[in-house]
Amino acid sequence: MKAVTFHGPGHVRVETVEDPRIQEPADAIVRVTTGAICGSDLHLYHGTIPGLLPGSVIGHEYVGVVEEVGAQVTAFRPGDRVVGAFHVACGKCGSCRRSLYNQCQHGGVLGYGVAFGNLQGTQAEYARIPYADYTLRKVPEGLSDEQALFSGDILTTAYGAVINSGLRPGESAAVIGCGPVGIMAVQSALSLGASRVYAIDLVKERTDLASQLGAVPVPSAEVNVMSKMNELTGGEGADVVIEAVGGSKTLQLAFQLVRGGGCVSAVGVTAEDTFSYPLMNSLTKDITFRIGLANIHRDIDATLSLVRGGRIDPTVVVSHRLPLDQAPEGYRLFDQRQANKVLLKL
């Protein structure tokens, strides 16, 4: 089959590799019909995530059709249209029983290297999906590939970040970073009842898009974020802050923007080991800090319902639709911020 493979920083190729096959009885093989390049794939592309062996198949956003199932798979049959979580979970271990699917003791992230379970990715004609009964969902009736796709990753990541922030209806949210994840955090916060959402990004087109969706734009290359946010919130700060960039710089900003008693909820991925925690500020301002990998299995049914109900349109982020063969060009465009979100059509 054809697949996107990694060959060191900045080098991805489309190559012919061996077809995946059922290895465990809980596996399914999915014929991918639409995939995407995620902001998290860019960290691989930049070489900041160690442990990805050259030649590995990458990618983890996928919609497709079940081709084959292992003997233990009961929820799916060949021919079912499915969307899958980017991380896999067994559904049975202690973590999964506590709904901490991102902490599954047998879990991993598709196409993210040895540190994440050494699973092959989904930017390919076919993908092996472990623990299919838990990792996959049927695409709800009436939803296109593009509408369902992001529930497997960025939409549910963003929605989960808002849930983790404890946002209550009527409260305000600041979203730092208006890439695809941030845009979906804007949509999620509004659908969960936020009274105002402040959308912060260096790229004006991105805060413009957030503004079209109902957010208050804060283009951070043009305005001083602190003084603008002070002006917008009457000096109080936002009730919750969603960090959707990654790294210490935007985390520090998040702590500055949140009101006393509020919550910073971060999903941006970083390879930085530590950051300087604003201890005194957090103590005196009574700030809650949440950070973590997305817990897709926990929230995917909610986001699919919100999309199906017309409350969230995740397709607004899509800027490019390319055939799989052009994936290297897709990576280049996405990396250089010439593309907002690249789909790979098979």
**217 near ligand NAD (CB under 6 A):** no
**200 near ligand NAD (CB under 6 A):** yes
Q: Which of 56, 151, 172, 250 touches ligand NAD (CB under 6 A)?
A: 250
Q: Among positive and negative, which fits the CA dihedral 7, 10, 16, 21?
A: positive
- Asked whether 241 and 172 are in contact (CB, 8 A), the reply is no
Joined together, the tokens standing for residue 194 give 């936020």
Nearer CB in complex with ligand NAD: 134/198:
198
Nearer CB in complex with ligand NAD: 324/342:
342
Q: Among positive and negative, which fits the CA dihedral 337, 11, 342, 85?
A: negative
Cβ of residue 25: shortest distance to ligand NAD, in angstroms? Answer: 28
Cβ of residue 42: shortest distance to Zn ion, in angstroms? Answer: 10
Selected range binding ligand NAD among 8-16, 35-43, 48-56, 208-216, rule: CB under 6 A: 35-43
Beta bridge partners of 81: 65
Query: Can you tell me the distance from the alpha carbon of 133 to that of 294, in angstroms, rounded to the nearest whole number?
Result: 19
Q: Among positive and negative, which fits the CA dihedral 137, 138, 143, 145?
A: positive
Q: Which of 3, 17, 38, 251 touches ligand NAD (CB under 6 A)?
A: 38
Q: Which of 244, 304, 307, 333 touches ligand NAD (CB under 6 A)?
A: 244
Nearer CB in complex with ligand NAD: 30/154:
154
Helix (H, G, I), strand (E, B) or coil at 206: helix
316 binds, among Zn ion, ligand NAD, none (CB under 5 to 8 A by kind): none
Joined together, the tokens standing for residue 99 give 């709904």
Nearer CB in complex with Zn ion: 38/253:
38
Taking Cα atoms as reference points, which of 231, 229, 196 lies closest to residue 210?
Answer: 196
Total residues binding ligand NAD (CB under 6 A): 31
Query: Can you tell me the distance from the alpha carbon of 85 to that of 169, in angstroms, rounded to the nearest whole number?
Result: 28
- Burial (CB < 10 A; 0-12, 13-18, 19+), residue 322, is middle
Query: Can you tell me the distance from the alpha carbon of 48 to that of 36, in angstroms, rounded to the nearest whole number?
Result: 20
**246 near ligand NAD (CB under 6 A):** yes
Residue nearest ligand NAD, CB atom distance: 179
Cβ of residue 346: shortest distance to ligand NAD, in angstroms? Answer: 21
Q: Which of 151, 172, 220, 265 touches ligand NAD (CB under 6 A)?
A: 220
Query: Which amino acid is present at 85?
Result: A
Q: Which residues inside 126-145 make contact with ligand NAD, applying CB under 6 A?
A: none
- Burial (CB < 10 A; 0-12, 13-18, 19+), residue 291, is middle
Joined together, the tokens standing for residue 264 give 């910073």
Cβ of residue 103: shortest distance to ligand NAD, in angstroms? Answer: 12
**182 near ligand NAD (CB under 6 A):** yes
Name the site residues for Zn ion (rule: CB under 5 A): 38, 40, 86, 153
Rule CB under 6 A: which residues touch ligand NAD? 38-40, 42-43, 153-154, 157, 176-182, 200-203, 206, 220, 244-246, 249-250, 267-269, 293-294
